[in-house]
Amino acid sequence: MLGLFRVFHWGPITAICIIKWISLVTLYCNLRWYPPANSFGGLAFTVTFLVLSGLTLYHFLFAMYDGPGYLPLSWKPDGATDEELLQLQFCHICQGHKAPRSHHCRKCNRCVMKMDHHCPWINNCVGHFNHGHFTAFLGSAVLGCLLSCISLTCSLYYGLNRNWYEFYGTGNEPKVVFTVWSLIATLLGLGLSIGVVIAVGLLLFFQLRAIMRNQTGIEDWILEKAVYRHRHSDNKFVYPYNLGRLNNLRQVITWTCQPKGNGIVWEVIEGADQYSLTREQLLQKADKRDRSREYEVFKSYSGACFPITHGVSVCIRPPCTDEPRIQLIKGDRIIVTRWKKYWMYGDKVVQSKKARIRGWFPRHCTVETVFSQHYDSAQLDADHNSESSDTEEISTSAGETHQQYIHHRGKNTKTATSKNKRDNQLSTRTESRKKK
């Protein structure tokens, strides 16, 4: 039932309104500027625009309702051995393993096959099964709005200069007459068309580049981290899914917009296997857990996107992401995994069976604890068997860290004491030699 009501969202409603507004205004002006009944060129122009407008709406609806393809809940590969399962990530929300190239979407609350990004305009993720329709939607929208820009610009030119052409023209110029409301509608339609050509055109460029690389936006970020992680190693990470531009293009762009493959098993280059990328992801997450630090909140935060009360710098420099902000109360503890100049991202440490709480918050609201211990952030919401067991585990970790600190401090004290003894002996010998 969710699919039927997916259109009732600000994104799809806004997109459909823009599509229909541009289409109706363009047809209204085109009948006056380049009437299809007067010439074959006018007929061809009008028919081409109508086809592109129809394809835009068609691919938009299919990209929204077909969906990217979701992994079943509690999924795991058929006939997989324990060794193979260890090479896959596990989703604690869906309670199943993640197939290669799959990622969990917080908005859809499901694991998505070959997830590229969550698009608010279609109120759905762009992934394996709707990537072709989404790309076709972008292409037809850009081409249609290019024709709309031509039609509306020429209509405005002849409409605003109508009096001049009546006195000095040849009489063969188009007769375009605007009322106040039609002029406003045309100007708005032209502005929307130019905006679509620029914004959607850029998105189309990045999508085509990603398809020709066979690399989604998420995988682009994973590859960037892999290159950085292996920068000092002789064994460089090789992306396993780049089969060449033409073969990559054929996997997504087809006449029916139906992709090749089932979204679980993928063609890989020679020397790679199905789990090459997932192994790298697991290693990156292990490094992320090693870098994590525990912070304690000493100043409350409401969770607002632009917290004016926390300073101008924090307010005007928010993280450029759609990830959530989390509310903080004095005394809360956060396991931080990402740092920016004015913001940090992490998981709130909870002591009960609650959903995982993670997101961004102002950096100056917290202070790093003295005995911070690295945590497995993925298990903050997975191993909540009881509140007492969680408290005991955290206390044990803090105690072990304290013992390590005391041991390290003791070693430093012993070293300093022995050094002082040597200095005293040396000074005594020097004084005795001077007396002699």
Q: What pLDDT does 370 receive?
A: 66
Across 42-56, 170-184, 276-290, least confident range? 170-184
Q: What's the rounded Cα separation, in Å, for the pair 155 and 174?
A: 8
Q: What's the rounded Cα separation, in Å, for the pair 352 and 381?
A: 9
**Residues 186, 152 contacting (CB under 8 angstroms):** yes
> pLDDT grade, residue 130 (50/70/90)?
very high
Of these residues, 111, 119, 145, 365, which one is catalytic? Answer: 119
Pick from 191, 200, 173: which is nearest to 25 by CA?
191
* Helices 131-160, 245-252: inter-axial angle, 10-degree rounding: 90
**Residues 49, 26 contacting (CB under 8 angstroms):** yes
Please provide residue 19's backbone torsions phi and psi, each rounded to the nearest 5 degrees: -60, -50
Q: What's the rounded Cα separation, in Å, for the pair 140 and 55?
A: 6
Q: What pLDDT does 354 receive?
A: 65
Give the amino acid at 142. V
Pick from 33, 128, 100: which is nearest to 240 by CA?
100
**Residues 361, 328 contacting (CB under 8 angstroms):** yes
Q: What pLDDT does 45 receive?
A: 95
Class of CATH domain 292-379: mainly beta
**Helix, strand, coil percentages in the chain from 3-state DSSP, rounded to 5:** 50, 10, 35
Q: What's the rounded Cα separation, in Å, for the pair 231 and 223?
A: 12
**Residues 362, 310 contacting (CB under 8 angstroms):** yes
Half-sphere exposure of 340 (CA within 13 A, CB side): 16
Mean pLDDT (whole number) for 196-209 = 96
108 is catalytic: no
Query: Could you tell me how many residues make up the chain?
Result: 436
Mean pLDDT (whole number) for 145-151 = 96
DSSP 328: B
**Residues 284, 277 contacting (CB under 8 angstroms):** no
> pLDDT grade, residue 353 (50/70/90)?
low
Half-sphere exposure of 382 (CA within 13 A, CB side): 12
**Residues 274, 100 contacting (CB under 8 angstroms):** yes
**Residues 327, 375 contacting (CB under 8 angstroms):** no
- Is residue 197's pLDDT more than 80? yes
- Is residue 409's pLDDT more than 80? no
Give the amino acid at 415. T
What is the C-alpha end-to-end distance of the chain, expressed in Å? 102
Question: What are the tens digits of pLDDT across the range 57-92?
Answer: 999 999 999 999 999 999 999 888 889 899 999 998
Q: What pLDDT does 296 receive?
A: 93
Q: What percent of the chain has pLDDT over 90?
A: 65
Question: What are the tens digits of pLDDT across the range 299-332?
Answer: 999 999 889 889 999 998 988 887 889 999 999 9
Mean pLDDT (whole number) for 157-176 = 84
Tokens describing residue 12: 């799809």
Question: What are the tens digits of pLDDT across the range 98-113?
Answer: 999 999 998 899 999 9
Question: What are the tens digits of pLDDT across the range 388-401?
Answer: 333 333 333 333 33
DSSP 70: B
Across 79-93, 145-159, 279-293, 344-358, least confident range? 344-358
Q: What is the dihedral of CA 270, 273, 278, 283, to 10 degrees?
A: -80
Domain ranges of the chain: 10-229, 292-379
Q: What pLDDT does 154 receive?
A: 94
Q: What's the rounded Cα separation, in Å, for the pair 202 and 213?
A: 17
